[in-house]
A and B are shown apart, each in its own frame.
Chain A
Amino acid sequence: MIELKNVTKKFGQLEAVHNLSLCLEKGKITMFIGPSGCGKTTTLKMINRLIEPDEGDILVNGESIFTQEPVALRRSIGYVIQDVGLFPHYSVFDNIALVPRLLKWDEKRIQTRVDELLDLVTLNASYGKKYPLQLSGGEQQRVGLARALAADPDILLMDEPFGAIDPINRSKLQDSFLEIQETIQKTIIFVTHDINEAITLGDRIAIMNAGHLVQYDEPNEILQNPKDDFVEHLLGADRNLKALSLEKIRDYLDEDAYLTVAPGTNPEQIKQKLRTANRKLALAVDENGILQGRYNLEPSSTQADGEKLSYDGQPVVMSRNNNLIEALSMMLETGENQLPVVTSKGKLRGVIKLTQIFAKVEAAKAEKNI
């Protein structure tokens, strides 16, 4: 656990950080976000004593960092510097191997670790031999990230670690980052200027403005209850959509909105059944529970009874781990307002309905107003 107590830092006249008190939970990811120049980097650097505060105290695991040996302190804290700061005279390998070497790991172990890290940051192993000047901006940043992770520190300070990385690599990195975090449970402070990233990765988000802490809460809470106009503005006009990205489909399954039929059932029979049950959707499921196709009952002017049954043998499906925003997007793409949800093996688990997505937001609102 990291605790900042009334921390203030001035640069000349400018109060870069003002009376900041903050408790960062062990094993959690805290995202720092705020306008540029609001003091995020300064705060980070105070935690590993690159900058000494003018006032206040900082405790790591209950012990003041100012009573600790700075070098030892910093070795226990991984640090991804904002302007990357790779050592130009070292190869990528040597840059990453730096801290393990300081800690006198044996070379075999280092070799394994570096390979592992290069893979983690989605760089080919051949990059080990390159020099920083030969890398593109995003490649450099990924090496900087690997370097900070190298010795597996308990605390990680990450100053815009994905700032220059393209969306594909970024989402890969975010995924593997979250995956690792789930098992290793590090205490992570992560500065970002990407509000989506803050929402996706953060257990908590600290919003700063002009040296002050404005709001410090769980992402959901911040999205649904922005403290003031500034936060609202920061979250963007589409913050309600963003909130949906935090919700997994698995929690919004509807198992009553459809009928299941065996594959190959007579269409007229299905039509009949749907009418009786007052449903529009029938899903063809085989004996193993695997979804095979989808029947929709649609209005039709050509049909005598004003309705026709369409069949789709390769229906668009969602996975239970997709989030609501993905579901919404897929509904927009297909024009359907409900989509079957299946397991990775293809087993049907239910459907997700557009109305439910809306209901979810409503419910959150209602909850708040109690």
Chain B
Amino acid sequence: NRKGDKTITVGAKDFTEQYVLGSMISVLLSENGFNVTEQFGTGSTITREGLETAQTDLYAEYTGTAWAVYLNRADEVISDPELLYDMVKAEDAANGIVWLAPAPMNNTFALAVRADDVAAYGDSLTSLAAYNNAHPGEIIFGISHEFYERADGFWAMADAYGMKVEESQVRNMDAGLSFEAIDRGQIDVAMVFATDGKLPKFNLKVLTDPQNFFPIYNMAVCVRQEILDQYPEIEEILAPLSEFDDESMQLLNYKVDAEEIPAEKVARDYLEAEGLI
């Protein structure tokens, strides 16, 4: 196949990790003779709609997001990562979407606090709950709309840990803005994603989740069946992506978020360093 015949559109959502992963997919494919069109930075649901409507061919997605949002199964909590992957893969087959091999990284929801506050709040959700209940109304939570609204979101978490949170303690806000907000002391606890590179940048501490309350968000590449049928080699080419764990992913995100290296370069540097290209 001459380069140029194999055209493919790669998508990515509008946050750092997605740009990194998207760039990686894009680099790998073009190194392997694909003529790649990048369609990065689209809103989360828009990205998925793009895939479903064949306007995008593949992108990196998370099992938990698909399960709860696209497949509308938020009320059935599955805490076994492999089972979740299998279920999602099986169900999405009906939509003409293939889930390639999953990575161990789990970009789940998490709550983070300023490192200084760990002394007071402790390092887990359990200790946070205790502090919160002892100091009613003191802690301000910055929570994204999605997490706030979901049945398995904020309120369910508070219930699970016996945290008594008043409505007035919650600020619904854009996830991107919450880092500045916590840094400037306008909120005390921010909802974040576990692999976010800004966590080290802002010196935030992710609280542990002893009860495994948060759903699983393993990353895997979603490809349209049609495309995979046409270019079965894609599965092989993108196999390295299934290597990422939380640390390696967070490191790459950190490079983009804190060191301000362009995502495309971060991806290429990583692939080169790993000898993948």
Direct contact of A and B (CB under 8 A): no
